[in-house]
């Protein structure tokens, strides 16, 4: 493996959820430890399953992995770190400020940026603690900080003073108010990150266009702040030997090879390793030791019957949605799970039943038109440009809040406005125009904002409180977008995930986020399931079997109702294939 050649002291693994960061990081730790190095493996992933992978309990303390001499592990609990962070900030003002103000502060500190910065606060010690030099040759981090968080920590000026003076927006600067370490210590940590002799950034992706695009974006974001020495690992690539054994396997192989041939230009120059898809779950030492090894093809069991699997279809879910005759359907989920495709499939299903549908998206890649690849009676499609909407919102805030700031204050505000929350707020304001249509037709919304962003909008009075204040005691009935989202009779939220451990954990966290905002997800959709595709290939049959545990968790613990869509031999492009994806007999791309 190229990324293991002459490894520096720190190795960071980053990538979208579900690409295999934890498995790659754990296998790397074992490899280095068994070569005689002393290794500390650290996870800062909110959905960390390092302990599960090793089959031991780790937690927020350095713990020896008994089966691997010279290897210790640590799971930084970012949620616990974020809670301590919030307590340090909110505690002194609780009971002093009005409850509504305290609640707004708590919400400001409840998002992903707080969690990430609090975790960075924790592992700064690991980057700068000289005493660890005598204990470990390598420290490996599962989940690296984003470029946005690093830029925030590089900013000059007093964050707390900026916020105390009321100059900041309710986005990502709030978490910085709780930082207690000296800026010199943060500078030392950031210097270590930027030094290629000390640190190696490893981007982990799959042989899929979406995850490769995400890796390309991460590459540019990190390179812009000086972290340009990066490596690429493409994980879980189906071995070519499996392709002739199954039509589905052949289609997957062809699709992956096409994605690799069309890899983004900025990734082509990186040192790259390809890790083959394994037939087994990457849990336990034996599995992890075999991750980087070339495996012989699985022998056929002699049973050529397809894998048998049954679950509710997307078409069955849409049957229930259609009974209302109109309403808002919001698709939510982490990147790479297929929200745009599922949104298109739901819209096509509703329109196919003769119902009026408006499908709207903020997908920056503009894939919706490609996915539909045609028109359908009763279906209208629109696209919101996230870049244009965000720039409009930023200009508005800079024109108002930024007008009287000095140069340092304006720099802080401009950085705050580069946060992911800013784009979500700006796009949702544009989406709000389409939401009004849901009283008379179906509006299917792709790429919806998170519960945290919705609460930020509500807490800061961006629309809900503004309307309530303007209406006053006039007695006029009004409904704001937030009120409509919280009404299950008007809005149905569909959470999209994959039948893999990390995406399911991320969807579970997203559901908790929404519940906090008073929004209860109506259903979960498990997308791209190998089990639902009923494969013949021995390797794919084993992978399908491994999916059953995650699908069962969705069905029995997380979702009130659910559906499973199959991994198709052909990309679900065009009306016919989208209908097949939803579960129409005779239309499936695997027939």
Element (H, E) at 296: none
- pLDDT tens column, 198-235: 999 999 999 998 889 889 988 998 888 888 889 999 99
Q: Tokens for 55, please give them.
A: 């089959």
Average pLDDT over residues 313-324: 94
Of 23, 114, 371, 390, the active-site residue reads 23
Q: Which residue has the higher pLDDT, 174 or 369?
A: 369
Find out whether 570 and 251 touch, Cβ atoms under 8 Å: yes
Is 440 one of the catalytic residues? Answer: no
Of 14, 15, 16, 21, the active-site residue reads 21
Q: Give 396's contacts (C-beta < 8 A, 6+ positions apart).
A: none
> Rounded to the nearest 5°, which phi and psi values hold at 305?
-70, 145
Q: Residue 571 to residues 277, 402, 425: CA-CA distances in angstroms?
A: 20, 47, 32
Q: Which residue has the higher pLDDT, 358 or 48?
A: 358
How far apart are the C-alpha atoms of 365 and 351, rounded to whole Å? 24
What percent of the chain stands above pLDDT 90? Answer: 33
Is 22 one of the catalytic residues? Answer: yes
| Helix, strand and coil percent figures for the chain, each rounded to 5 | 50, 15, 35
Q: What is the pLDDT of residue 548?
A: 94
Q: What is the pLDDT of residue 148?
A: 56
Of 14, 15, 16, 18, the active-site residue reads 18
- pLDDT tens column, 237-248: 999 989 988 899
User: What average pLDDT is seen over the chain?
Assistant: 81
CA angle 507, 509, 513 (to 5 degrees): 110
199 strand-pairing partners: 10
- Give the DSSP per-residue string, 132-185: GGGT-SEEEEESPPPHHHHHHHH--S-HHHHHHTT-S-SSSSGGGGG--S-HHH
Closest CA to 127 of 144, 112, 114: 144
Asked whether the predicted pLDDT for residue 456 surpasses 80, the reply is: no
- pLDDT tens column, 329-352: 999 888 778 888 999 999 999 999
Is 21 one of the catalytic residues? Answer: yes
How far apart are the C-alpha atoms of 285 and 305, rounded to whole Å? 32
Asked whether the predicted pLDDT for residue 461 surpasses 50, the reply is: no
Is 502 one of the catalytic residues? Answer: yes
Closest CA to 541 of 256, 245, 306, 206: 306
Find out whether 388 and 365 touch, Cβ atoms under 8 Å: no
Asked whether the predicted pLDDT for residue 483 surpasses 90, the reply is: no
Asked whether the predicted pLDDT for residue 159 surpasses 50, the reply is: no
Q: What is the pLDDT of residue 120?
A: 74
Is 45 one of the catalytic residues? Answer: yes
Q: What is the pLDDT of residue 296?
A: 59
Q: What is the pLDDT of residue 133?
A: 84
Of 14, 22, 211, 340, the active-site residue reads 22
How far apart are the C-alpha atoms of 142 and 236, rounded to whole Å? 17
Domains identified in the chain and CATH numbers: 2-82+110-169+181-289 (3.40.50.300), 314-582 (3.40.50.300)
320 C-beta neighbours (distance < 10 Å), count: 12
Is 110 one of the catalytic residues? Answer: no
Closest CA to 459 of 91, 98, 80: 98
Region of poorest pLDDT, from 28-32, 49-53, 404-408, 567-571: 49-53
Region of poorest pLDDT, from 424-428, 435-439, 511-515, 577-581: 424-428
Q: Residue 345 to residues 316, 355, 448: CA-CA distances in angstroms?
A: 12, 14, 16
Q: Which region, left, alpha or beta, applies to residue 423 given φ > 0 means left and ψ of -120 to 50 means alpha?
A: alpha
CA angle 286, 290, 141 (to 5 degrees): 90
Q: What is the pLDDT of residue 580?
A: 81
Q: What is the pLDDT of residue 39?
A: 97
**Residue 64 DSSP one-character state:** E
Of 14, 16, 45, 362, the active-site residue reads 45
Of 20, 333, 574, 580, the active-site residue reads 20
Of 502, 529, 537, 588, the active-site residue reads 502
Is 18 one of the catalytic residues? Answer: yes
């Amino acid at each position: 493996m190229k990324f293991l050649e002459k490894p520096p002291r720190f190795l960071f693994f980053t990538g979208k959820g579900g690409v295999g960061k934890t498995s790659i990081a754990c296998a790397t730790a074992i490899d280095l430890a068994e070569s005689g190095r002393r290794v500390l493996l650290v996870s800062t992933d909110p959905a960390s399953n390092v302990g599960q992978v090793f089959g031991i309990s780790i937690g927020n303390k350095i713990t020896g992995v008994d089966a691997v001499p010279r290897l210790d592990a640590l799971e930084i609990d970012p949620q616990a770190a974020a809670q301590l962070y919030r307590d340090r900030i909110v505690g002194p003002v609780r009971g002093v400020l009005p409850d509504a103000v305290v609640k707004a502060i708590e919400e400001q500190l409840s998002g992903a940026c707080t969690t990430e910065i609090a975790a960075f606060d924790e592992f700064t010690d690991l980057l700068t603690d000289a005493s660890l030099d005598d204990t470990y040759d390598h420290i490996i981090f599962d989940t690296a900080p984003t470029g946005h968080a690093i830029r925030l920590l590089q900013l000059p000026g007093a964050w707390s003073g900026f916020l105390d003076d009321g100059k900041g927006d309710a986005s990502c600067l709030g978490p910085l108010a709780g930082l207690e370490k000296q800026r010199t210590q943060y500078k030392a940590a950031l210097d270590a990150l930027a030094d290629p002799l000390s640190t190696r950034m490893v981007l982990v992706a799959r042989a899929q266009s979406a995850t490769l695009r995400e890796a390309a974006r991460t590459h540019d974001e990190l390179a812009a702040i000086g972290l340009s020495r990066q490596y690429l690992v493409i994980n879980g690539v189906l071995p070519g030997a499996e392709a002739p054994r199954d039509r589905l396997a052949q289609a997957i192989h062809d699709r992956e090879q096409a994605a690799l041939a069309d890899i983004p230009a900025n990734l082509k120059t990186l040192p790259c390793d390809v890790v083959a898809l394994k037939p087994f779950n990457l849990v336990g030492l034996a599995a992890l030791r075999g991750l980087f090894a070339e495996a012989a093809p699985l022998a056929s069991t002699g049973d050529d019957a397809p894998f048998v699997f049954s679950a509710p279809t997307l078409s069955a879910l849409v049957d229930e949605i259609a009974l209302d005759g109109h309403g808002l359907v919001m698709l939510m989920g982490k990147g790479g799970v297929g929200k745009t495709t599922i949104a298109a499939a739901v819209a096509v299903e509703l329109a196919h039943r003769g119902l009026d549908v408006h499908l709207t998206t903020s997908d920056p890649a503009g894939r919706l038109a490609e996915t539909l690849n045609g028109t359908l009676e009763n279906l209208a499609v629109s696209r919101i440009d996230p870049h244009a909407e965000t720039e409009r919102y930023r200009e508005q805030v800079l024109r108002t809040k930024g007008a009287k700031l000095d140069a340092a204050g304006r720099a802080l505000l401009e950085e705050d406005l580069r946060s992911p929350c800013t784009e979500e707020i700006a796009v949702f304001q544009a989406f709000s125009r389409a939401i009004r249509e849901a009283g008379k037709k179906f509006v299917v919304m792709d790429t919806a904002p998170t519960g945290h962003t919705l609460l930020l909008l509500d807490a800061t009075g961006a629309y809900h409180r503004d309307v309530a204040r303007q209406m006053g005691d006039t007695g006029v009935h009004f409904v704001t977008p937030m009120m409509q989202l919280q009404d299950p009779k008007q809005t149905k939220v569909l959470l999209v995930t994959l039948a893999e451990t990390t995406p399911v954990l991320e969807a579970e966290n997203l559901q908790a986020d929404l519940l906090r905002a008073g929004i209860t997800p109506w259903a979960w959709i498990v997308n791209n399931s190998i089990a639902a595709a009923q494969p013949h290939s021995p390797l794919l049959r084993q992978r399908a079997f491994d999916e059953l545990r995650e699908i069962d968790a969705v069905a029995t613990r997380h979702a009130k109702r659910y559906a499973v869509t199959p991994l198709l031999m052909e990309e679900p492009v065009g009306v016919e294939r989208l209908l097949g994806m939803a579960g129409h007999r005779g239309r499936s791309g695997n027939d």
